[in-house]
Chain A
Amino acid sequence: MTSPIAPDLQATVRMPAKPRAGVWRRLVKRRLALLGLIIVAIVVAGAVLAPWLTGYDPNEQMFDGLTIEGSPLPPDAKFWLGTDLLGRDLLTRILYGARTSLIIGIVANGVALFIGTLVGVTAGYFRGWIGSALMRFTDLMMAFPALLLAICLAAVFQPSLWIVAMVIALVNWVQTARVVYTETSSLAEREFIDAERTIGAGAPRILFRHILPHLLPTIIVWGTLGISTTVLLEATLSFLGIGVQPPTASWGNIIFENQTYFQAAPWLVFFPGAAILALALAFNLIGDALRDILDPTQRGRA
């Protein structure tokens, strides 16, 4: 389908290549982003290496893991972060819980990003009745109290790791759709897209070769910030007891299970809580830095 003059034309109409090669270098130069990257690296290492980092089984209820009265043990040399109400090693459960958070963070957020991009690009590029129907539906979803919707959904389906991921995805695609829609519709009116149409390029070619590459920075930024939202939502659902179900460890359900003990054993809330905060913070820091780097129009504003 390409006409003989197309390659030349392309060379002149395509936007100058963005200096993307330097993104990583510029990212690690920012102290806060670097802090975020380090936290993510630690959490990933903890999740992957969990079986080698700890000698305990996450579900093993140990006899010496409780006091004689049956209450959890505070942090000591044997159990570094103490034990939970069933006498399980808290550090081990937090390490394995990192797996849950990361899986949900990647899967749920990936699906949400995919739905959001699909809806946003379709509505922004094709417009027409499909476009307005999709955006009205997006508006509708914006009016839903997100957490309440997630709770209803989680209650409808029996929660498992994958169901929780899907529930979160179904709630979280909305913001991405809005942003992608706005960008796509302004891109679709630009001259270089017109030029592509003029030389006979079809919609798939324009979408994949021209629109999507331009959307990439936005998708990367929202994808990173979205992991943070996802991690928090999973923790909240699990804290309410309708997220990831025990005995599978998740930072949220560790707190849920031990809530009744928290006055006597605050470390059971403090350590998993700190883990959730750290991971969410890390992705927020990275996402914010990426926004500065990838989107120069926003620099100095946010």
Chain B
Amino acid sequence: MIAYLGRRLIQSALILLGVSLITFALLYLLPADPVRQIAGRSATPQTVENIRQQLGLDQPFIVQYWHYLTKLISGDLGRSYIQRSEVTELIVSRLPASLLLMVGAILCELLIGLSMGLIAAVKRGTATDQTLMVASFVGVSAPQFVVGLLLLYVFAVRLSWFPIGGYGTWRHLVLPSLTMGILGAGWYARMMRSSMIDVLRQDYVRTARAKGLARGAIIFRHALPNAILPVIAMIGIDIGIFMGGIVVVESVFGWPGIGQLAWQAIQRVDIPIIMGVTLVSAFAIVVGNLLADFIAPFIDPRIKLR
């Protein structure tokens, strides 16, 4: 177990190193020159060169990357080219909003997805089951920006139940969470359904039925706890999907999280911020996967870590 843990941690660190190298290389190859952007249009070639030197952008790729790495180890992600502040600070100040959205989204997808899956499994083979499964497919196939814009139109513009965008109260949180949650709910509904069907097939459920337990008691007390655990364990893996959607959803709703930060940075070629957000996202994904792996044997003792 300890050896496995150590190996996985080293693997994860290497993965993050790789992600940083690839992102750094990609941004290095960017045809848009960040120095020109900072200096402005009227800058003389001399000023442009000075800024380039100041930022260390005149040095070879390997040197630049090495500088970045050494600073990264102490948690320093460099300075934003345009916002004149530390990237670490910017990300830290935006993180709470994104985390809040993440909690909201996970609540939505679990609530919607698990109940859909549960009902579908219990009513397996009926029209209800079919309808729910089609609905889960629709959830998985719906582009998030369309879902977001539609929810905005119906619930904010038409019905004015929720604000059109922004951040602050729980009302602001509902529509973005729902937008993110609908995609995940589709996946969870399908996983929950198959997990529940597996459990309902098992001998102990038959025994419970044979000794005359009520249907509700069998489903909720005996089957559900066993069926729900492996599905919940997927949350770790889910973080990857979440990190992908965050850019779109935050820009549709004007949600001041790291997705919006990244999107603004991409438009202004603010490389240190793009780099920072990519690394933070990759970190979250790697940690999520690690958690999912470590939780697995506790949930299902048949799984052994190697």
Whether the pair B19, A144 counts as a contact (CB closer than 8 A) is yes
Report the stretch among B42-50, B80-88, B105-113, B273-281 that lies at the interface: B273-281
Q: A145-B243, A288-B137 are in contact. Are A240 and B143 (CB under 8 A)?
A: no
Cβ of A90 < 8 Å from any Cβ of B?
Answer: no
Could you tell me the distance between the alpha carbons of A301 and B143 in the complex, rounded to whole angstroms?
Answer: 26
How far apart are the CA atoms of A281 and B137 in the complex, in Å? 6
A120-B113 Cα distance, complex, nearest whole Å: 32
Using CB atoms, name the residue of chain A closest to B14.
A136
Q: Does A182 sit at the interface, judged by CB under 8 A?
A: no
Binds B, one of A12-20, A76-84, A198-206, A261-269: A261-269
A240-B263 in contact given A156-B30, A262-B149, A300-B197 (Cβ < 8 Å):
yes
Q: Which residue of B lies closest to A171 (CB)?
A: B244
Query: Looking at the complex, which of A91-99, A147-155, A213-221 is the stretch in contact with chain B?
Result: A147-155
Known: A145-B282, A262-B153, A280-B141. A273 touches B146 (CB 8 A): yes
Residue-by-residue, is B106-145 near A (CB-CB < 8 Å gives 1, otherwise 0)? 0000000000000000000000001000100110111111
With beta carbons under 8 angstroms apart, the residue of B134, B157, B244, B274 that contacts A32 is B134
Q: Which of A140, A146, A239 interacts with B244 by CB under 8 Å? A: A146
Residue of A nearest to B12 (CB): A143
**Contact, CB under 8 Å: B266 / A152:** yes
- Pair A276/B143 contact, Cβ less than 8 Å: yes
* A191 → chain B closest CB, angstroms: 25
- Would you give the shortest CB distance from A172 to chain B, in whole angstroms? 12
Q: Which residues of B contact A263 (CB under 8 A)?
A: 153, 157
A285-B157 Cα distance, complex, nearest whole Å:
33
Give the segment of A1-9, A46-54, A104-112, A228-236 that binds chain B: A228-236
User: Is B168's beta carbon under 8 Å from chain A?
Assistant: no
- List residues of A (140-181) whose CB comes within 8 Å of B's CBs: 140, 142-149, 151-153, 155-156, 158
Task: Flag if B248 contacts A273 (CB, 8 Å).
Answer: no
Contact A281–B141 (Cβ < 8 Å):
yes
Do B149 and A145 have beta carbons less than 8 Å apart?
Answer: no
Residue A284 at the chain B interface, CB threshold 8 Å:
yes
8 Å CB interface, B234-271 against A: 240, 243-245, 247-248, 251, 262-263, 266, 269
Interface residues on B, range: 35 or more
The chain A residue sitting closest to B16, CB to CB, is A143
* B194 contacts across to A, CB distance below 8 A: 301-302
Q: Considering the complex of A and B, which 7 residue pairs feature the smallest CB-CB distances, nearest first? A: A273-B146, A280-B141, A147-B244, A281-B141, A145-B243, A145-B281, A140-B18
Q: Provide a sorted-by-A list of 13 A–B residue pairs whose CB atoms are within 8 angstroms.
A: A139-B15, A140-B22, A148-B277, A152-B278, A155-B32, A156-B31, A240-B251, A270-B150, A273-B149, A276-B143, A277-B142, A285-B137, A301-B197
In the complex, the answer to whether B15 meets A148 with C-beta atoms within 8 Å is: no
B214 — which chain A residues lie within 8 A by C-beta? none
Q: Do B244 and A148 touch across chains, with their CB atoms under 8 A apart?
A: yes
A143 touches B141 (CB 8 A): no
Interface-centre pick from A142, A152, A252, A266 (highest chain B CB count, 10 A): A152
Q: How many residues of A contact B (CB 8 A)?
A: 45
B27 interface contact, C-beta 8 A: yes
Q: Quick check: B26 and A153 within 8 Å, CB to CB?
A: yes
B37: Cβ under 8 A from any A Cβ: no
Q: How far is the CB of A276 from chain B (nearest CB, A)?
A: 5
Q: Are A266 and B15 in contact (CB under 8 A)?
A: no
CB of A121 closer than 8 Å to a CB of B: no
Q: Identify which of B15, B16, B153, B157 gathers the most chain A CB atoms within 10 Å of its CB.
A: B15
The one of B29, B130, B143, B262 in contact with A148, judged by C-beta atoms closer than 8 angstroms, is B262
B285 is an interface residue with CB less than 8 A from chain A? yes
Give CA–CA (A128, B289) in the complex, Å: 25
Tell me if B286 is interfacial: C-beta within 8 Å of chain A.
yes
Answer whether A273 and B150 are a contact pair too, CB < 8 Å, given A143-B285, A148-B277, A152-B266: yes
Task: Kindly report which residue of chain B lies nearest to residue A36, judged by CB atoms.
Answer: B137
**A residues near B248, Cβ cutoff 8 Å:** 147, 236, 239-240
Q: Which residues of A contact B281 (CB under 8 A)?
A: 145, 148
Contact B282 A143 (CB under 8 A): yes
